[in-house]
């Protein structure tokens, strides 16, 4: 007797999702609670587990289809089933040895079948042999980031040799130009709508400042080993910025407020949204009551968010709310940007890369590690004076971290 698999409850106010990929194909053996499909919602990817052990039946929906909560998506039949994918023919399997790995396209075996579409595309573009990559995703699955890291030489012993002429694809005709159409994920569609809505609704303005990172870098260098030994997490820069932002938000409450109709809602707490890179796009989990946390607690929370964003284990409720956002484009090399607010929030702080620049100190030109700060805000609520005051308070705390300790 077949067991129906239906779209599970996805969270408060979320009624539908998009089928991102099938993790099990018809005829394959399935264990109880083993993920068989991935659904994309407005905020995160959700894996659908099998309710029973058995054999994967027919898919009732296709990748890219929109499905509602409670809709039938597949069936699980009774039986033992077949392996996840048939092994490659013997001659081809023997041809793949450590000396020749990466010289040809991977055989049609277990690993290619388990790769998501975005990962398969990255494998084809980079020429990396997926069998040499250790996956960092859930259950050891390979992510797009794993492939890109391997392509940069981080995840493999040596760069893959160029394909032999026989294995190389036919060259494109002279002057030929190709296009590829890829359906936008539900998350990307939502990001696009929210960002455009922010531009259409808020009176956006960005104010800049810069900050000397010397003191924070020195503190981090001096205490990073003891910090990691005691707290089990690395001491980064975000812990300092989150705490400094919380202090500045108390000094300038409007930056931590939001407009609701014809009212202004002020918050006596700081729930800080932090932008985190995930395989399916940028996600923004929230550090609840960050103003009540220590630097170590902030760093632990951010580290946990980063790991679970990669594995797709972030929960939707962890990305709801937030009174202020910090986005660190500096990790990707950004020198300066004008970030867009995350509605209904009224402001977002953009951090950027640290670089040595000449500055004047006590009448002398010296070289210091400097970072540009950008505060984008809703000018309907936040005046320029308040934006500048916030940035100066943040700058003072970062340039003299003792202020964070004594709340000055």
Q: According to the model, what pLDDT value does residue 120 have?
A: 66
Q: According to the model, what pLDDT value does residue 86 have?
A: 45
Residue 243 near residue 252, CB atoms below 8 Å: no
Catalytic site includes residue 383: yes
Instruction: Quote the tokens at residue 351.
Output: 């951090």
Element (H, E) at 370: strand 364-378
CATH of 190-406, one of 3.40.50.970, 3.30.559.10, 3.40.50.2020, 3.30.420.40: 3.30.559.10
- Is pLDDT at 324 greater than 80 in this prediction? yes
Average pLDDT in the chain? 82
Catalytic residue, candidates 139, 251, 383, 407: 383
Cα gap 370→254, rounded to integer Å: 27
Q: According to the model, what pLDDT value does residue 161 have?
A: 45
Catalytic residue, candidates 210, 267, 313, 379: 379
Percentage of residues in the chain having pLDDT higher than 70: 81
Q: What is the dihedral of CA 189, 192, 197, 198, to 10 degrees?
A: 140
Q: According to the model, what pLDDT value does residue 173 have?
A: 67
CATH of 3-77, one of 1.20.140.10, 3.40.50.150, 1.10.357.10, 2.40.50.100: 2.40.50.100
Give the number of other Cβ atoms within 10 Å of residue 147's Cβ: 25
Cα gap 381→343, rounded to integer Å: 13
Q: What is the mean pLDDT of residues 139-168?
A: 61
List the beta strands (DSSP E) in 309-346.
324-328
Question: 358 versus 145: which is more confidently predicted?
Answer: 358
Question: 157 versus 4: which is more confidently predicted?
Answer: 4
Structure confidence at residue 96 as a pLDDT band (50, 70, 90): very low
Q: What is the dihedral of CA 16, 18, 21, 23, to 10 degrees?
A: 0
Cα gap 389→401, rounded to integer Å: 18
Question: 94 versus 115: which is more confidently predicted?
Answer: 115
- Is pLDDT at 177 greater than 80 in this prediction? yes
Helix, strand and coil percent figures for the chain, each rounded to 5: 35, 25, 40
Q: According to the model, what pLDDT value does residue 65 have?
A: 86
Which residue intervals of 202-275 are DSSP H helices?
Answer: 214-231, 238-251
Q: What is the mean pLDDT of residues 142-163?
A: 62
Class of domain 90-151: few secondary structures
Catalytic site includes residue 379: yes
The DSSP call for residue 182 is -
List the beta strands (DSSP E) in 152-231.
204-212
- Is pLDDT at 294 greater than 70 in this prediction? yes
CA-based R_g, the chain, Å: 25
In this structure, the strands spanning 54-59 and 29-30 are antiparallel
Q: Where in the chain is the domain with CATH 3.30.559.10?
A: 190-406
Q: Where in the chain is the domain with CATH 2.40.50.100?
A: 3-77
Give Cβ neighbours of residue 301 (< 8 Å, ≥ 6 apart). 287, 293
List the beta strands (DSSP E) in 60-162.
66-68, 72-77
Region for residue 173 given its phi and psi (left: phi exceeds 0; alpha: psi -120 to 50; beta: otherwise): beta
Cα gap 188→194, rounded to integer Å: 10
Structure confidence at residue 390 as a pLDDT band (50, 70, 90): very high
Q: According to the model, what pLDDT value does residue 98 have?
A: 38
Q: What is the mean pLDDT of residues 297-317?
A: 87
- Is pLDDT at 156 greater than 50 in this prediction? no
Highest mean pLDDT of the ranges 74-88, 103-117, 163-177, 341-355: 341-355
């Amino acid at each position: 007797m077949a067991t129906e698999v239906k779209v599970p409850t996805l969270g408060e106010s979320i009624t539908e999702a998009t089928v991102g990929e099938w993790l099990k194909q018809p005829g394959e053996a399935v264990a109880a609670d083993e993920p068989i499909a991935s659904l994309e919602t407005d905020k995160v990817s959700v894996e659908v587990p099998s309710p029973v052990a058995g054999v994967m039946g027919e898919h009732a929906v296709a990748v890219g289809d929109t499905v509602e909560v409670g809709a039938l998506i597949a069936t699980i039949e009774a039986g033992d089933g077949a392996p996840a994918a048939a092994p490659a023919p013997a001659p081809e399997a023997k041809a793949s040895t450590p000396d020749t790995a990466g010289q040809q396209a991977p055989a049609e075996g277990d690993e290619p079948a388990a790769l998501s579409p975005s990962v398969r595309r990255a494998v084809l573009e980079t020429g990396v042999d997926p069998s040499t990559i250790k996956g960092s995703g859930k259950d050891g699955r390979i992510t797009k980031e794993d492939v890109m890291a391997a392509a940069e030489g981080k995840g493999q012993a040596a760069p893959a040799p160029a394909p032999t002429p026989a294995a190389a694809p036919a060259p494109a005709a002279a002057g030929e130009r190709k296009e590829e159409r890829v359906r936008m994920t539900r998350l990307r569609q939502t990001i696009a709508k929210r960002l455009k809505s922010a531009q259409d609704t808020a009176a956006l303005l960005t104010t800049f400042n810069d900050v000397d990172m010397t003191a924070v870098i020195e503190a981090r260098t001096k205490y990073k080993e003891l910090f990691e030994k005691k707290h089990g997490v690395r001491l980064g820069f975000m812990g300092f910025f989150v705490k400094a932002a919380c202090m500045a938000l108390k000094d300038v409450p409007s930056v931590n407020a939001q407009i609701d109709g014809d009212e202004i809602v002020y918050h006596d707490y700081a729930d800080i949204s932090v932008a985190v890179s995930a395989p399916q796009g940028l996600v923004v989990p929230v550090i609840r009551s960050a103003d009540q946390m220590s630097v170590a607690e902030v760093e632990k929370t951010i580290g946990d968010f980063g790991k679970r964003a990669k594995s797709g284990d972030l929960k939707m409720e962890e990305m709801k709310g937030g009174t202020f956002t910090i986005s660190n484009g500096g990790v990707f090399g950004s020198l300066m940007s004008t970030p867009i607010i995350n509605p209904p929030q009224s402001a977002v702080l953009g951090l950027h890369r640290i670089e040595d620049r000449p500055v004047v100190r006590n009448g002398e030109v010296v070289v210091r590690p400097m970072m540009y700060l950008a505060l984008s805000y809703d000018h309907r609520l936040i005046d320029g004076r308040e934006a500048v005051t916030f940035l100066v308070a943040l700058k003072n705390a970062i340039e003299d971290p003792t202020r964070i300790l004594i709340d000055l």
